[in-house]
Structure 1
Amino acid sequence: MHGSVQIQFKEYIHMNIWEAILQGIVQGFTEFLPVSSSGHVSLVQHFLGKNIEGAQAFTLFLHFGTLAAVFVVYRQIIWDLIVELCATIKDGAHDLWGLIRYGKGKFKPNASWKLTEMNETRRMGMLIIVSCMCAILLFVPVFGFLGLTTASGEEVKTMTDLSQYTSEDSDIIVEGLCLLVTGFLLLYATNAANRRRSTGDITDGEVTLKTAIIMGIGQCFATLPGLSRSGTTTSLGMIHRADKNKALQFSFIMGIPAVLAGNVLEIATMTDEQWDKFEVLPVLIGVIFAAVVGILSIFGLRWIVSNNKLNYFGYYCLAMGALVIIIAIIEKTTGCGNAVPAAELLGEVTSTDVSAADLVASLADVA
């Protein structure tokens, strides 16, 4: 009985401004640093007692802040890609019409469609499109055998469902495991690049078609909380011999259409119950802080990668992952879980469905 009352309390606790600022800072600081923003935001929500349905919705809106940061820092490259995309569409339409009208070999194409013969901007744009096409894996129903259901009662079937489930449940074991994976990837990629450099192998170069596909697949799995998107994709690029700085830049740019499309789709499919939990002012403040801190984080990560210091983040992720797993095990064995602080209960409970006796009993349980 007491446990059910605690759940009622959690449902009526609303996010205040300071919590929104904190989560915005965490999102901006960790979105680009290879430590997993979703994992850290999920942990903050867990320890603040905000790990309820709607938590993923708030995190989705925070991503718009960090997307704004990418647009600010890489505005010239993004503009060049947009201009080149328009030119590519124009050339494609011309060449397709010529092929239909005159047949192969009877007309001169406007452009070469081989990646190796494209200019750098067009080539990068085509590889970004290829990497984003891997996002279809997010909607392949391969997880139905797990028998899991989300907080809204829907069966977990796809990677998107699994990400939502792990973001909104009260168990942080997945965040811990994914942080460990992030740490191992960062250390392996750094060591591989260092070994090649120490043996005089300096063939690391452009992101290839194969590398773009692998980075795109990695981006799909990085929707899990604790698995860093930038860390996963950059590490996979480095492992497959892409130059570290070019892999990082490609990771940032390829994330724009994927994250933007994913967020818009998630927002479009939000339930009425999730919208009822939506609070405009905290979300707006969180987005602003995420954008400002995100800009600083991008410049910081560029310096870190250029100076071969990614391995420090690998050690951090391993340590944090181990700590989170230990805490998760303690919570499971003690049954304390995601307890809500008594002061928060007293100050923010607005439900009239809870009796005074239940309130006293629940406060005693929390204490």
Structure 2
Amino acid sequence: MDIWQAIILGVAQGLAEFLPISSSGHLVLLQQIFGIQESGLFFGVMLHVGTLIAVFVVFWKDIVAILKKPIQKLTGLLIVATVPAIIVGLFFKDTVEMLFAGKFLGWGFLVTAVVLFLSDRIPEGKKNLEQMNGKNALIVGICQAIAIVPGISRSGSTIVGSLTQKLDRRSAARFSFLMSIPAILGSAVMEVKDVIVEGTGGIPLLPVLVGMAVSAVFGYIAIRAMLKIITNKKMKYFAIYVAVVGVFVLADQFIFHWFF
């Protein structure tokens, strides 16, 4: 992997982690297009660390408030929402790794497209995070667990899940982004053992650091943009984009075989 590939993957991770277009799906797709053969485990973890930095920068007030008073309702809601993804990660790890081979990538993108098309038709909710309850958080957490499948957007799924629970759109986006903190941290922790064994997986350290930095910058841009987009009900444009990508992937898998 060279610097330019690392930059492109960093841009994709930063934007797609928070825009509803699936970061994991885009990373799998781009790795296929570039023909990257090295193990991407360490690189993937560091890209996620970059997006985590972006969340810390945007939501530092929320994070500081949680650290000052860890025992509070918002903390409990985030824990409940994280449990489904933990269960999937612990008990279905082999299945998840198989999905990352890209076999179902096109279908994942199409699922995201359908979800996003429907999201703009969900009536505006009135709940804020203070009015959210454990059941609401669990349902959003299940949406996040489903989004482990590459091509299915984590941010899109959790935001739409929040909207179905009658949260107002800004609160839905805020909860989704805060949920990414334990999700990304948990994913990184679960991969520590494999990273120690594999090292950088044959990828030089400089591209890894560049990719992480780029991911952080574009993650920040994506969060700021998404907070505005969600309130204006413009998810359909993302739906069109992922639908086109999904059709392209399926066409390549079944007909052209350029990359898959």
Shorter-chain TM-score above 0.5: yes
Match of 1:283 among 191, 208, 211: 208
Report how far residue 327 of structure 1 moved: 1.6
Read off the aligned partner of 1:192 and give its amino acid letter.
I
2:85 touches 2:142 (CA, 8 Å); kept in 1? Answer: yes
Q: So what's the TM-score if we normalise by structure 1?
A: 0.66
- State the Cα deviation string for residues 133-182 of structure 1 (Å, max 9, x = none): 223322464xxxxxxxxxxxxxxxx1x32332232x3xx44111111111
- Alignment partner, residue 133 of structure 1: 83
Q: Which runs of 5+ in 1 are unaligned?
A: 1-14, 89-121, 142-157, 339-367
Match of 1:323 among 248, 252, 255: 248
Structure 2 matches for 1:33-44, cutoff 5 A? 33-44=19-30
Q: Secondary structure at the match of 1:227?
A: coil
Write the distance in 1 (CA, Å) between the matches of 2:99 and 2:86: 20
Write the distance in 2 (CA, Å) between the matches of 1:140 and 1:54: 21
1:33 touches 1:298 (CA, 8 Å); kept in 2? Answer: yes
Count of aligned residue pairs for this structure pair: 258
Read off the aligned partner of 2:60 and give its amino acid letter.
R
Structure 2 residue 69 is matched with structure 1 residue 84 = yes
Write the distance in 2 (CA, Å) between the matches of 1:179 and 1:303: 23
> Which has the bigger relative contact order, CA under 8 A and spacing at least 6?
2
- Alignment partner, residue 92 of structure 1: none
- Alignment partner, residue 188 of structure 1: 118
Report how far residue 319 of structure 1 moved: 2.1
- RMSD over equivalenced CA pairs, Å: 2.0
Provide closer, same or farther for how the CA distance between residues 179 and 274 of structure 1 changes in structure 2, counting only shifts above 3 A. farther
Larger Rg: 1
**Identity score, percent:** 34
- State the Cα deviation string for residues 210-257 of structure 1 (Å, max 9, x = none): 121011122122222111111111111112212111111011111101
- Alignment partner, residue 251 of structure 1: 176
Write the distance in 1 (CA, Å) between the matches of 2:90 and 2:8: 34
Write the distance in 2 (CA, Å) between the matches of 1:276 and 1:322: 31
Read off the aligned partner of 2:30 and give its amino acid letter.
V
- Alignment partner, residue 13 of structure 2: 27
2:116 touches 2:236 (CA, 8 Å); kept in 1? Answer: yes
2:32 touches 2:259 (CA, 8 Å); kept in 1? Answer: no
Q: So what's the TM-score if we normalise by structure 2?
A: 0.91
Match of 1:162 among 85, 95, 104: 95
Q: Which runs of 5+ in 2 are unaligned?
A: none
Provide closer, same or farther for how the CA distance between residues 82 and 36 of structure 1 changes in structure 2, counting only shifts above 3 A. same
Structure 2 residue 198 is matched with structure 1 residue 296 = no
